[in-house]
């Protein structure tokens, strides 16, 4: 427990590793030069950033010139849609999955007033984008397709490689919000075949406010007009003073990504959690459990118990109703609704997301507390 809390909301954000915090310290006050300055302090900072770029590129199995630093995945997603919208003569239709994070859905919807049509690719009841239906919707009128690698609420993996192939058959550009998958599965961007992908450090025990975007073409052959203007940093793709400490922290976190063995241990803890809920006699309905999921994510409904009420009665557990971006809304999850889940069931749904630092004791404690709170609330509501 950290400060008396069991933290099981790692899809929202993670705690920085101590090694990450320590790696950043010199770059606040010792190696603090602006990477664009030509003096020694600037050159030293620039060299550190380029080493981080090389290390990060190697981790996701691509090349340094294809990695560009951002403030996080939300910025990366918005950059792609904004750049596309600024480009003359592009096709006026874009396609996104119905279960995308708001940073993709809202960015796509913002194109509508500019004369673009937004096509939403449906998912099946397991929360997987239906490739057959996508095949009927993606044609030569679509210029941009964006589908996430793994859903942030259910953890369900998406058939990205199949959809990339489909998009490219019709000459469309393919972007992927890959933020939730990093650190929970092996990511080989060359093999995945996407044209761009966005990531955030704070999902992998790195610092908040820093991330990167992968651009397969590099900056010189990027097919759209850059959305941002400024001093030319990041080869003009993302101008602005470079966040050296954040990039160092992110690179450190990338070097510490869990091994396959650690990921397997996390998946076994998730299994222990779900089986424990069932064994406790709780009326659980698991969402997306028949599909291939991230090894850390469980989304389930305790039917008849409002999720916000349950969370309010679990003061020592950090769990959520879904995306942290929607946590203040008492409304059914758009992701669950797209899967055909009823409003009542969606409003009773909880997301639990583990990390490699989660322990068996924390899992058992969570099961016990959820069971106790559910019993109390059943009595109150009966």
Write out the catalytic residue numbers.
325
Length, in residues, of the chain: 382
Closest alpha carbon to 301 in 353, 266, 341: 341
Give kind and range of the element (H or E) at residue 245: helix 244-255
Dist. CA 282–CA 375, nearest whole Å: 9
Dist. CA 368–CA 166, nearest whole Å: 46
Please count the other Cβ atoms lying within 10 Å of the Cβ belonging to residue 287: 28
Both tokens of residue 169?
A: 């058959």
Closest alpha carbon to 180 in 109, 104, 289: 104
Contacts of 88 (CB under 8 A, 6+ apart): 225
DSSP codes joined into one string, 293-310: B-TTEEEEEETTS-HHHH
């Amino acid at each position: 427990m950290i400060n008396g809390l069991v933290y099981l909301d790692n899809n929202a954000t993670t705690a920085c590793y101590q090694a990450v915090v320590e790696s950043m310290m010199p770059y606040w006050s010792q190696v603090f030069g602006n990477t664009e300055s030509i003096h020694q302090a600037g050159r030293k900072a620039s060299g550190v950033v380029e080493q981080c770029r090389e290390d990060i590129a190697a981790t996701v199995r691509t090349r340094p010139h294809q990695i560009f630093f951002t403030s996080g995945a939300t910025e990366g997603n918005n950059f792609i849609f904004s750049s596309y919208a600024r480009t003359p003569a592009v096709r006026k239709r874009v396609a996104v999955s119905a279960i995308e994070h708001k940073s993709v859905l809202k960015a796509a919807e913002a194109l509508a007033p500019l004369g673009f049509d937004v096509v939403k690719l449906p998912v099946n009841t397991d929360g997987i984008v239906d490739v057959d239906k996508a095949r009927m919707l993606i044609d030569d009128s679509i210029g941009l397709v964006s589908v996430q690698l793994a859903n942030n609420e259910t953890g369900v993996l998406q058939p990205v490689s199949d959809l990339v192939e489909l998009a490219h058959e019709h000459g469309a550009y393919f972007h992927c919000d890959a933020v939730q998958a990093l650190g929970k599965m092996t990511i080989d961007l060359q093999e995945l075949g996407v044209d761009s992908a966005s990531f955030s450090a704070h999902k992998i025990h790195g610092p908040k406010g820093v991330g990167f975007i992968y651009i397969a073409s590099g900056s010189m052959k990027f097919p759209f007009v850059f959305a941002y203007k400024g001093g030319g940093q990041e080869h003009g793709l993302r101008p602005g003073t470079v966040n050296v400490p954040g990039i160092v922290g992110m690179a450190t976190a990338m070097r510490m990504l869990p091994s396959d063995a650690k990921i397997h241990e996390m998946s076994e803890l998730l299994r222990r959690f779900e089986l424990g809920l069932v064994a406790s006699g709780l009326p659980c309905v698991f969402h997306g459990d028949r599909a291939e999921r991230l090894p850390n994510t469980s989304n389930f409904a305790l039917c008849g118990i409002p999720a916000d009420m349950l969370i309010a009665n679990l003061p020592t557990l950090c769990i959520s109703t879904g995306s942290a971006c929607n946590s203040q809304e008492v409304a059914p999850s758009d992701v669950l609704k797209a899967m055909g889940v009823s409003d009542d069931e969606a409003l009773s749904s909880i997301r639990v997301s583990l990390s490699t630092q989660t322990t068996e004791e924390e899992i058992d404690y969570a099961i016990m507390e959820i069971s106790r709170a559910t019993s109390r609330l059943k009595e109150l509501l009966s």
